[in-house]
Structures are given as structure tokens and as C-alpha cells.
Chain A
Amino acid sequence: MEVFEELLSSEYLPLLFEEGAGTLLLKFMPFVLFFELPLAILVIIGVIKYTVDRRYEGERRPYFPSVSCIITCYSEGRDVQKTIMSLTEQIYPGKIEMLAMIDGAAKNKFTYDSAHEMSHYVSGFENRKLLVVPKWQRGGRVSSLNTGLNFASGEIVMALDGDTSFDNNMVERATRHFEDPTVAAVSGCLRVRNADESLTASLQAIEYFISIQASKTGLSSFNMVNNISGAFGVFRKSVLDLVEGWDAGTAEDLDLTLRIKNYFGRYKKKFRIIFDPEAIGHTDAPATFKGFLKQRIRWDGDLSYLYFRKHKRSFKPKILGWPNFLMIILTGLFSQIVMPFVIFVYTVWLFIRYPIEYASTLLFLVYLFYFFLLLVMYLIFTACLSERPEEDLSRLCFLPLMPLFAFAARMNSLVATVWELTASGHKDTSMAPWWVTRKNKF
């Protein structure tokens, strides 16, 4: 707080405003005007649109397609039982088939046994089926998903993580969109299960809420969802069959999304990917800051690997369609790869160009801007979207830390991108063993 007071009483603050609003805006420009603000406004409008549409959604029609859930498990242990129980528990009259794929079952005997123990529990429920598939040799997540696809008999296939559990209306919410034949996939909403475990986890809960639950809802309103979460993706089986499942390599979620987009773009077919904020899964986020940074290095590294290496040829508006092309440029390429550079360069430039006090005051103003933008968005989103408003409001006190947290994440992202571009970091991924990634053609 002292820092705040010091900054506010700084002699540079009036100086900043004396230069006129125009100049001030100019200094903010790289961050705000061209990118953050329009995106925020777009999302807010989208969320409000969704909220209105949702209110007049009407009764569920009796369309209950059969569902196969491919649960990729590795060393989740007992947690996999929560996943299986929460899927068994779905309030859904249709068939739900659970395919628990245990990767490296020889090594992860405990996870395998834990999944097996659930057979009796599941058999007590009508229309629920559990198949535990041990993959004795470790083959990575993609091999689990593709193996699972062979066993899947449902019209709808869900790719789920063994450490994610689901709200009891998840399947119902996720499947209802497929009645529209143009819907190719539905992205599910992830929340942080262990939000109260640590400060890092709480901050991630806020981040998930803003950047997944709210942002994607907003973008989905304009049919601009550009990723199907890897831990929680819902697909029409026929579409998966068309693109022949997942490709080996990392970030298979993004990769698959791009390939679906490619496919539909190439054939000029109308299709949609929908994000449903009420199809909710709860997953464990890294509880330590170090763990968080490590996870992000992997994710962001994977991301630039995809844009810069794998998909560079299909990266054309002709193939993706203009709105999607722009959206990928904006949210993917720009926000997650270019922005960290811009921010880094801008900050360094600020400190070189201006005296340190002036620069810090400016940064403080930037912080304040972000904080208020965040606060407004958080309150609107909680009011419009949150299915657990009390829980989300209880985390308001952590909101002031969020801009700093986001800044740290972006700098971390920068490191990841540099790492990927210089050293092919994605081959270090922990998602698949080295003997799988080595053979990978990309």
C-alpha cells in the first residue's frame, strides 16, 4: 500500500497529465488501443449477447445422442475415480460410455487399479458403461486419444483428462448444440478445482474465469472460438473420423482445432465450434508459482511451435476464412506470441527513454487501467455468467494482484517462445515420451 501512496503522491503524476490526454493515450497505445480494449469490448458485448440468448433458450428438446468419453489417464491415481464418478453421475438420459485409457499402465498400476475399482459402481447405473483400457507401454496423450477413438461407439466423442471432474449437467449442456448439424465441436469450460489451495491457484482460478469462461463465451457469440480445450473437448464423431483423429506431437488440442478449421475452410462448408460456459469441468491447477510457470512454458512453447512450424502453410485466410484468420492472428499469434515481445520491448524502451520515476508512474497508471478494466469485466461476467457467483466473488480480493500475475505470465511466455524458436523446445514436452516425439515428422 505504501508503494501505492508513494506513486500517487509522485511529482510525476501531474506531469503526466500536463502533456495532454493525447500524449498519454499514445504512451498506452501499444497495449490498449489497438488490442486489449477492443478485445475486451468485443468479449463484453459477446457475453451480454450470450446471456440474453441463454435466457430465451427454451426447453431442452428430446435429443440425447450417445456419448463416448475418452479419459486420458497417466498418473492421476485416485483422482481418476472422481472423473469417472462425475461422468456416471451426469443427469443425462442417453448413453454415456467411459473409456479410461491408462497410458503406461505397467508403471501406473495404481491409476489402472483405481479405474478398475469403479467398474462395479458404474454397472449399478443405467446407460453408463466403463471400459478401462490399459496401454502397458507409454505412448503419450495422442496415442491414448486415437486408441480410445477406436473403441468409441458414441455419436459424440469427448476428449477428457483423468484429473478433471465434471458438473452433473455437463454432458447435457455439451451435447445439446450438436442438434445443429453445422456444429462440429464444442469446447468445454474449465474451472480450477483446487482454487483454495494456494494464492497461485486462486489467481489461476480468476484467470481461467476471465480467459476461458468469459472470453470464450464472448467470442463464441460471434463464432470466433479458436481453440478446443485439450483437457475438455467435445466432438462430433463423424468430424473426428474425417480428420482422422489426433496427430502425433504436442498441443494436439490446438492442432486438431486448426485441422478442423482447415478441413471446413478447404471445402467451404459452414461449420461452427461452440463454447458452452455451462459445460463445466474442474481441473487441478499447479499450486506453486514455479509449477505454474513451468506449465505455461510448455503450453506457450507448444503454441508457437504450431503457428510457426507445423501450420505455417495453411495459415491463409483463404483456407481459414477471414474472421477466423483475423481471430487467430489477434488472439493466438498476436496476443500470445507477439504481445509478450511488444510489452517487453516497450517496458525496456520506457525505462531507457524516461527517468525511472516517470517510467514507474506510467507503468503504475497502466496497472491501474488494467485493474479497473479487469474489475469491471469480472463484475459483469460474474453477474452474467457465473454459475457459482458467491465463490467467484469471494476471490475479488485477489483481483489487484492479477495485472502483475498476468505480466509475469507474459514474460514467462516470452521465454517460452524464444526457447521454442531457438531450441525446438516442444520436443521436451512431458506429454509424450521422447521415443514418440523423436519419430514425429514435424
Chain B
Amino acid sequence: MKEYKIYRILLGEETAHSPDGKISDFQSARELLEKKPESGIVLIDGLKGKKTSDKLKVFWELVELRESVEFCCAPIYLSRTMQQVDILVDGISSNIEERLPEAASILERGKRISREKLLDNHNLRMLSYMYVRGEEYSLSPVCSPFSQWIYSYPEMALLLDSSTKASKILRPEDLSGLERLRSFRFDTEMIMALRAVAFLEDHGYITRNLLVDRVRKCPKCKTGHLNYVDVCPNCGSIDFNKKLMIHCFICGHVAPDSDFRKNMSFVCPKCNTVLRHLGSDYDHPLESHECNNCGSKFIEPDVKADCLFCRTRTDPSDLTVVNVYSYKLSEKGSAAVRTGSMQMEIQLFDGQNNLKFSYFCNIIEWMREYRKRYADEVFTLIGLKFSNLYEVEDLLGEDLYKKIMDELIFRIRAMVRTTDITTSSAPDTFWILLPRTLFDNSTILAERIELLNDKLEIKSDKKIEITAKCFQIPTEDNEISAEKYLELFAEEL
């Protein structure tokens, strides 16, 4: 087993771990990061964890470490428990030696990941974080009863891109943070984390492990703090009273008990008998209610869910039901970590003219042969690439992103002629083969595609970047295959 560096961040005097030669001490995470260290194990030590301010300090160190490319996936340990902060680290250990095998395997797996790819891609960072912790690791939700999101994934929140976080995560000097830390109430980050996890699940990078809980949320504002109230079915007022009905055995009169009440006894308003004993003089045929607002009488009140945030009233059956899961890395997710790329699949072209990439290459080969014989038989290729799909989806949300994509796809398809042949060489890279088209003519088309963005009817802050370029495959050189050419062209996109 390779010897890994152990970095200790000493935040105070109260050390729990006795130093030995292998450990290098630092005052803070910042000091450690400034040294541009090689990957290693981090131990946070020196605080007792009895005070909330201790936990906050530890938390802040964690935030800085996880933000960095070097330590975003690194094994981090605490020397003493910090209660709610514990979920963010790999373990609590006063003797780091005991944890070395486990930490080493995390670092070992981390070697395969190229750090550059992790920059500005929090999704990939999350997948890598899960990947290095092995197959047994599952990403668990944390419940914060007083937050609007109720369940979220704090580990994901720490790995968010700094641009997304907008440094909202607390500073140690933020006093209100003490309270917020207690329940992980960094709402902006936690909601972003929730979205990021949903995104990863939707695209199959992570799979559901355990169903942890089920919460019902307000369909309008998606918060889960609901007040279930019984209301008048007619006007919805909560101000109604139970009305006991009385059935007089003497004359058979049935009316609410208020009609019978006279001083401190029940007197039948019809036959004037004093009704003294339940069961022998009278009974209650049914229980009803009377609304103090609209005066309507009803047997059973309705039950509604009132959102405590936005005051929307919803029928309980119309509430948004959210299942909360813990997650494991999927095959696809693990592949994404190993190749360092998360590819977005979109179906730009369909129909008979959309071919498998290998067939497409075969046709190009055939066209090259054809042109050798008939020199006037020209053809052009247009390469298309969408470069920032993830970013856009993350920023705009799934719904808006889909609408924009649908419009784009619709417009691009409209430009393609029935004789054109299409394919895709990568999830975000597409090719159009235009037979009998001169290079100059096809550049017009390419330009028009590139400009599509501005002409979309749906307006948004963030635009999908489309690169469209025209290419011609030289006829003479038969040494290089069509496939190779396309690979070369794709790099230019």
C-alpha cells in the first residue's frame, strides 16, 4: 500500500490525536490549499465540539476543502464528533492510523480522475465523490424539519460550483449561522443540491437505493409545511361548530341541541317536555356541524392542506407527493467519472435519413468513390455541436430547457432537406451530409443554424451555444478514412 500524506488542520489546543512523523500540521484549510499539496488524507483536530461555534469552525474548513479541486473527493476525518457536521466527513477517529486502509482505497480510486475535468462541473464532482468511496457508498438525505426543503443532500451542497453557491454558505463570523448550522439551513445551497441530485437521477448517473421517506408538498411553492385543517365544505371557513342533534322521544321532534337548551336543561320546543335522560327521553340521531361564517349545515367537514408559506389551500389528494431516496452510483455514473465526461443525449434527427454513425461513414466513403468518377458530383458536411447543455439545463431548469431544445430541434429539422443524411458521432455532436451542395451554399445554412439561438420565440437568460461548421473531405487522399476525418473535424467544432 502506498504511503499517503496526512494533513492535519489544527483549529485549537485540544488535540485528540498525538502527532507522529507522517502528519503535517496546518492552521487552516486555506494554509493547506496555498501549499498546492498533493492528494492526501485530511484530519481536522483541536476542537472539543462542545460549542456550536466549534462546529461552525469545522464546518467552514470543510466548505473550503470540498470547494477545492484537490480535496473535493478526498477522505476527511474528524478527531471528535461534531454532531450534525459528522455526516459531511468520512468518519470520526482519534487514531487516524485505524482509518488509513479505508482512506487509502479512497485515494487509490481517486487517481483515475483527472482534476481539470472536475473544475466547474459540480455534477461530475458529486459522481467522483461517490465513485471514490466505493460501491457501498450511498448518498443519504438529511432531514431539516424547519427548512422549506425538509430533505436534502448536504454533501452535494458542499460540492456545488462556487458560482452557484454565490458564497452563501456561512462564514464563521456569521452569528445567525449557528442556528442555521443546527439544521443545515443554507437554503439556497440545499435547494440547488436537491436539483442537482434530481438531475443526476434523471439522467441515470445515480440510482435509487433506499426509500427513506415520503413527504407531501405544496404544489405551488413546493414547501412541506402544511397545516391540515377541517373546513366548511360550502365556504371553506374554519369557523364552524359541532351541532348535536336531539331527537325527542315524546313527540319525535328532531333539531339541533341549541333549540332544546333552556337554562340548564333540554326542553323540547315542540311538546315542551323536559328531556332529562339520554336513552329514555331523547337521543342523538346524528352529529352535524354548522358553519359560523355561511350558516350552512353539514355532516362531515372537508379536510384541506394549507401551505404555511404561501397560504395556498390544496385538497390533500392534490398535494405533490415526493419520495425521498438515498442514492448509489450507477454504471453510467461510474463510466462518466472514469472518462471524465458527462454526455448529454439529445435526439436531434430522426427518421429514415438519420443513420448509425458507421453507416454514415460508409456512405461518405461511397460518395468519395462516386466523386472520383464524376467530378461534378460535390457534397458538403455540416458539423453541429451544442456545447453548454448541462449548464443551461441547470440554470434554466428542466422545463424551460426542454422547451428551448424542442424549438431548436424543430427549427433545425426544418432546414434539412429530404435528401440530406444525418448522424451523430457524440451525444452533443451531429453531422449533416448535403449531397450536390457547394461549400459556399452550405456555409449559408451553417450560419443560419448558428444564428437560430437569437430567433427563438422562448426567451431566456442563458443561451445554448451552437457551433455549426462546413467541411469538405478531400477526394484525393484515400489514406485517411472518413471516420478519421470526422474525428478531426469534430475537434474544430
Knowing A60-B264, A124-B242, A124-B287, the reply to whether A168 touches B276 (Cβ < 8 A) is yes
- Kindly state the separation between the CA atoms of A166 and B276 in the bound complex, as whole angstroms: 9
B400 interfacial by beta-carbon distance below 8 Å: no
Whether A282 lies near B277 (C-beta < 8 A) is yes
Whether A169 lies near B276 (C-beta < 8 A) is yes
B265 interfacial by beta-carbon distance below 8 Å: yes
- Kindly state the separation between the CA atoms of A85 and B276 in the bound complex, as whole angstroms: 13
A165 interfacial by beta-carbon distance below 8 Å: yes
A197 interfacial by beta-carbon distance below 8 Å: no
Whether B242 lies near A82 (C-beta < 8 A) is no
Whether B266 lies near A387 (C-beta < 8 A) is no
Whether B276 lies near A91 (C-beta < 8 A) is no
Knowing A91-B261, A91-B266, A124-B287, the reply to whether A165 touches B276 (Cβ < 8 A) is no
Whether B278 lies near A169 (C-beta < 8 A) is no
Whether A172 lies near B276 (C-beta < 8 A) is no
Whether B279 lies near A167 (C-beta < 8 A) is no
Whether B287 lies near A387 (C-beta < 8 A) is no
- Kindly state the separation between the CA atoms of A436 and B261 in the bound complex, as whole angstroms: 47
Whether B277 lies near A168 (C-beta < 8 A) is yes
Number of A interface residues in the complex (CB < 8 A): 19
Whether B276 lies near A387 (C-beta < 8 A) is yes
Which residues of B have CB within 8 Å of A172? 264
- Kindly state the separation between the CA atoms of A387 and B261 in the bound complex, as whole angstroms: 18
Give chain B interface residues in 281-298, CB to chain A under 8 Å: 287
Whether B277 lies near A167 (C-beta < 8 A) is yes
Whether B278 lies near A85 (C-beta < 8 A) is yes
CB distance from B29 to the nearest CB of A (A): 57
- Kindly state the separation between the CA atoms of A55 and B279 in the bound complex, as whole angstroms: 29
Which residues of B have CB within 8 Å of A167? 276-277
Which residues of B have CB within 8 Å of A166? 277
- Kindly state the separation between the CA atoms of A168 and B280 in the bound complex, as whole angstroms: 11
A86 interfacial by beta-carbon distance below 8 Å: yes
Which residues of B have CB within 8 Å of A247? none
Which residues of B have CB within 8 Å of A86? 277-279
Which residues of B have CB within 8 Å of A85? 278-279
B278 nearest CB neighbor, chain A only: A89
Knowing A124-B242, A124-B287, the reply to whether A280 touches B264 (Cβ < 8 A) is no
Whether B264 lies near A169 (C-beta < 8 A) is yes
Which residues of A have CB within 8 Å of B279? 82, 85-86, 165
Which residues of A have CB within 8 Å of B277? 86, 165-168, 282
Give chain A interface residues in 236-268, CB to chain B under 8 Å: none
Which residues of B have CB within 8 Å of A59? 263
- Kindly state the separation between the CA atoms of A169 and B264 in the bound complex, as whole angstroms: 7
Query: A interface, by DSSP: helix, strand, loop or mixed?
Result: loop
Which residues of B have CB within 8 Å of A169? 264-265, 276
B89 interfacial by beta-carbon distance below 8 Å: no
Query: B interface, by DSSP: helix, strand, loop or mixed?
Result: strand
CB distance from B287 to the nearest CB of A (A): 7
What 0/1 readout, one digit per residue, does chain A (156-190) give for beta carbons within 8 Å of chain B?
00000000011111001000000000000000000
Which residues of B have CB within 8 Å of A92? 264
- Kindly state the separation between the CA atoms of A169 and B260 in the bound complex, as whole angstroms: 13
B336 interfacial by beta-carbon distance below 8 Å: no
A124, A168, A387, A388: the one contacting B278 at CB < 8 Å is A168
A82, A91, A165, A387: the one contacting B264 at CB < 8 Å is A91
Give chain A interface residues in 328-363, CB to chain B under 8 Å: none
Which residues of A have CB within 8 Å of B100? none
Which residues of A have CB within 8 Å of B242? 124
Whether A168 lies near B287 (C-beta < 8 A) is no
- Kindly state the separation between the CA atoms of A85 and B282 in the bound complex, as whole angstroms: 13
B274 interfacial by beta-carbon distance below 8 Å: yes
B279 nearest CB neighbor, chain A only: A82
CB distance from B261 to the nearest CB of A (A): 7
A191 nearest CB neighbor, chain B only: B277
- Kindly state the separation between the CA atoms of A172 and B264 in the bound complex, as whole angstroms: 7
> Which of B264, B275, B277 has its CB near the most chain A CB atoms (within 10 A)?
B277
Give chain A interface residues in 120-153, CB to chain B under 8 Å: 124
A91 nearest CB neighbor, chain B only: B264
- Kindly state the separation between the CA atoms of A280 and B277 in the bound complex, as whole angstroms: 10
Which residues of B have CB within 8 Å of A168? 265-266, 275-278
- Kindly state the separation between the CA atoms of A388 and B277 in the bound complex, as whole angstroms: 11
- Kindly state the separation between the CA atoms of A91 and B275 in the bound complex, as whole angstroms: 11
- Kindly state the separation between the CA atoms of A165 and B277 in the bound complex, as whole angstroms: 8
CB distance from B96 to the nearest CB of A (A): 58
CB distance from A76 to the nearest CB of B (A): 15
- Kindly state the separation between the CA atoms of A151 and B266 in the bound complex, as whole angstroms: 31
- Kindly state the separation between the CA atoms of A59 and B242 in the bound complex, as whole angstroms: 27
What 0/1 readout, one digit per residue, does chain B (103-133) give for beta carbons within 8 Å of chain A?
0000000000000000000000000000000
B277 nearest CB neighbor, chain A only: A167
Which residues of B have CB within 8 Å of A91? 261, 264-266
Give chain B interface residues in 239-285, CB to chain A under 8 Å: 242, 261, 263-266, 274-279
- Kindly state the separation between the CA atoms of A371 and B287 in the bound complex, as whole angstroms: 49
CB distance from B52 to the nearest CB of A (A): 41
CB distance from A188 to the nearest CB of B (A): 14
B274 nearest CB neighbor, chain A only: A387
- Kindly state the separation between the CA atoms of A60 and B262 in the bound complex, as whole angstroms: 12
Which residues of B have CB within 8 Å of A388? 276
CB distance from B455 to the nearest CB of A (A): 66
CB distance from A153 to the nearest CB of B (A): 23
Which residues of B have CB within 8 Å of A89? 278
Which residues of A have CB within 8 Å of B278? 85-86, 89, 165, 168
- Kindly state the separation between the CA atoms of A84 and B289 in the bound complex, as whole angstroms: 23
What 0/1 readout, one digit per residue, does chain A (59-94) give for beta carbons within 8 Å of chain B?
110000000000000000000001001100101100
- Kindly state the separation between the CA atoms of A86 and B284 in the bound complex, as whole angstroms: 12
CB distance from B327 to the nearest CB of A (A): 43
- Kindly state the separation between the CA atoms of A432 and B265 in the bound complex, as whole angstroms: 38
Which residues of A have CB within 8 Å of B266? 91, 168
- Kindly state the separation between the CA atoms of A168 and B265 in the bound complex, as whole angstroms: 7
A82 nearest CB neighbor, chain B only: B279
- Kindly state the separation between the CA atoms of A60 and B274 in the bound complex, as whole angstroms: 18
- Kindly state the separation between the CA atoms of A60 and B264 in the bound complex, as whole angstroms: 8
- Kindly state the separation between the CA atoms of A166 and B280 in the bound complex, as whole angstroms: 11
- Kindly state the separation between the CA atoms of A166 and B278 in the bound complex, as whole angstroms: 9
- Kindly state the separation between the CA atoms of A85 and B244 in the bound complex, as whole angstroms: 14
CB distance from B268 to the nearest CB of A (A): 13
- Kindly state the separation between the CA atoms of A388 and B261 in the bound complex, as whole angstroms: 19
14 chain-A/chain-B pairs, Cβ below 8 angstroms: A60-B263, A82-B279, A86-B278, A86-B279, A91-B261, A92-B264, A168-B265, A168-B266, A168-B275, A169-B264, A169-B265, A280-B276, A282-B277, A388-B276
Residues of A within 8 A of B (CB): 59-60, 82, 85-86, 89, 91-92, 124, 165-169, 172, 280, 282, 387-388
- Extra pairs beyond A91-B265, A124-B287, A168-B278 (8, CB < 8 Å): A85-B279, A124-B242, A165-B277, A166-B277, A168-B266, A168-B275, A168-B277, A282-B277
- 9 residue pairs, one from A and one from B, having the closest CB atoms: A167-B276, A172-B264, A89-B278, A169-B265, A167-B277, A91-B264, A169-B264, A86-B278, A85-B278
